[in-house]
Structure 1
Amino acid sequence: MTVRIDHLVTSGTFSLDGGTWDVDNNVWIVGDDTEAIVIDAAHDAAAIEAALAGRTLRAIVCTHAHNDHIDAAPALAAATGAPVLLHPDDLPLWKQTHPERLPDGELTDGGTLSVAGTTLTVLHTPGHAPGAVCLYAAQLGTVFTGDTLFQGGPGATGRSFSHFPTIIDSIRDRLLALPPETVVRTGHGDSTTVGAEAPQLAEWIQRGH
């Protein structure tokens, strides 16, 4: 069966450092008619489960552990039996939201996940959060960047656990190395391409060092 990417937008709040903001999150579902992987179980486990439409969920992958990207993960895991996967460097953030329930497995740089005959490679891209990762699907010509890279520039680094020079290094070394036609599917907002972001990122790289 043909692999496809389904897109769901869920709404909720993001909370960190004593502040709370309303946010809309992108939830990405990669799979075919029988199995899938969810990237970032945000806000609404029931809506995500409905979008799966009975498919076997192989994994719930967290690009990072800010609450708006993981708040629905335990409920979705309970409903589907799928494991929650997170890079271990983001465990301190995870525990702020889910102190009683740890992730089920670890994401490691260079590790791979397979679904519907497609391989997703884990790229550790710290900066927005210590354990932030992107998922590169070469066969699909796309990378799922969470909050590391958006249309228009890097993710925010003004709060706890974030670091601007680190996110610039991650984007330069890991994401700009991908083919320019690679579609960037982000954690919030519209998609873009590596080639579209590369020229303006030169300014961000200079500003970060």
Structure 2
Amino acid sequence: MERFTPVTDDVLLLKVPFAVVWTGVVLVLDDDGPILVDSGGSAETVDSTIVPALRALGLELSDIRCVLATHIHGDHVGGIARMRELAPSISVGVLRESRQRMRDPHRYSREIRARFPEHSPEPPAVLDGVEPDLLLDDGDLVGPLRVIHTPGHDVDACCFFDTRSGTLITGDSLQLNGTLSQGCALLFDPARYLTSLHRLLDLPVQNIVCGHPYLPLGELAIGEREARKFLATCIGCYEHDRGLVAGMASAGVTDPLAVARALVAQVGGAEPEKMFLPMHTVAAYQEAAEKEQS
């Protein structure tokens, strides 16, 4: 059975199965009631993984004060509706601009695939949404967690900063070179990603907890030195990817599929069967470059 493992005394990580990798669900212990960050990808994983892992700590889902979403991608919010069904007292918190996506995450999942339909898998059969209770703004506090809006991976990506231990819970906001299933970093908003990374470098971050194991550094950075190294490496990965896309454009190669394949090979990733995620990254870099030149 998967269990919550401590990152600090009050921050614990659960690795919930998802495709060829896992998605992180983070438990934050607080005197006013425990908080979950993200929910895994489905109702099934709530029942099979999250509920048993909570019970191993002597907790029930009904003990959870609220569940907060780092962003509205299915592998991070697919279990929220099930949590609400099992424990109606749980509050759901999302960034204010995520409200519509949280109401209908399945619609957004379809939109992501619609741009490159021939290179996209079918959307999940079920991805239920809920009406969020807490609409969060940058800088808000939920218990000990400060909301940090960090666009880049997507426009509504955010981190939660534990003000007690300096632990940064990032979901997918820090991409490095992506996961095994992605092939490379996934950025829908690269124009703001670098700003987000520098903003995080200005925080007194002591530890980092990511939502997946990212290449090449994994999912954790423990201690200030390792945390800063992690953030600096993210900047290096960003500059490499941006430069590769720009260089190929200068050479006359702009087809998103061709550039995406070159990018995945350059970062040492495994080329996914469906290339829509690397193609989104490439297209976003190309569009950002066009805006800079206009």
Residue 118 (structure 2) pairs with residue 88 (structure 1)? no
User: Residue by residue, what CA displacement relative to the aligned partner does 1:75-96 show, whole Å, maximum 9, x if unpaired?
Assistant: 1122222011111322454323
Please name the residue that 1:42 is paired with. 40
Identity among equivalent pairs (%): 25
Distance in 1 (alpha carbons) for counterparts of 2:208 and 2:157: 15
Secondary structure of the equivalent of 1:185? Answer: strand
The one-character-per-residue Cα deviations of 1:175-195 (angstroms, maximum 9, x if unpaired) are 111235x21100112212431
Task: Write the distance in 2 (CA, Å) between the matches of 1:25 and 1:137.
Answer: 20
- 1:140 maps to 2:165: yes
CA shift in 2, pair 1:35/1:142, >3 Å: same
Q: How much has 1:204 moved relative to structure 2?
A: 4.7
Change (3 A) 1:40 1:100: closer
TM-score, with length taken from structure 1: 0.78
How far apart are 1:41 and its partner, in Å? 0.5
Following the alignment from structure 1 to structure 2, what is the Cα–Cα distance between the partners of residues 163 and 34?
35
> How far is the alpha carbon of 1:150 from its aligned partner?
4.5
Cα distance in 1, alignment partners of residues 170 and 11 from structure 2:
14
- CA drift of 1:104 comes to 2.2
Query: For the structure 1 residues 74 and 171, does the alpha-carbon distance in structure 2 shift closer, same or farther, using more than 3 Å as the test?
Result: same
Question: Match for 1:102 among 131, 138, 146?
Answer: 131
Shift of 1:65: 0.3
Distance 1:144 1:100, change over 3 A: closer
- Counterpart of 2:118 in structure 1 is none
Number of matched pairs: 190
User: Would you say the 8 A contact 1:10–1:27 is kept in 2?
Assistant: yes
Match in the other structure for 2:53? 51
In terms of fraction of residues, the more strand-rich structure is 1
Match for residue 31 of structure 1?
Answer: 29
1:166-205 alignment runs, 5 A limit: 166-173=192-199, 175-179=200-204, 182-189=206-213, 190-192=219-221, 193-204=226-237
Q: Deviations over 1:9-35 (max 9, x none)?
A: 11235xxxxxxxx44101110116983
Structure-2 residue corresponding to 1:77: 84
State how far apart, in whole Å, the 1-side matches of 2:30 and 2:53 are. Answer: 12
| Cross-structure match for 2:11 | 5
Distance 1:12 1:137, change over 3 A: same
Check conservation: 2:23, 2:75, Cα contact below 8 A: yes
Residue 163 of structure 1 and its aligned partner are, at CA, apart by 1.1
How far is the alpha carbon of 1:205 from its aligned partner? 6.0
* Distance in 2 of aligned mates of 1:99 and 1:33: 31
User: Could you tell me whether the CA contact under 8 Å between 1:40 and 1:70 is conserved in 2?
Assistant: yes
RMSD: 2.7
In structure 2, the CA distance between the partners of 1:27 and 1:155, relative to structure 1 (3 Å rule), is farther
- Structure 2 segments unaligned to the other structure (5+ residues): 1-7, 107-126, 179-183, 214-218, 243-288, 290-294
In structure 2, give the amino acid aligned to 1:203.
G
Q: Which has the larger radius of gyration?
A: 2
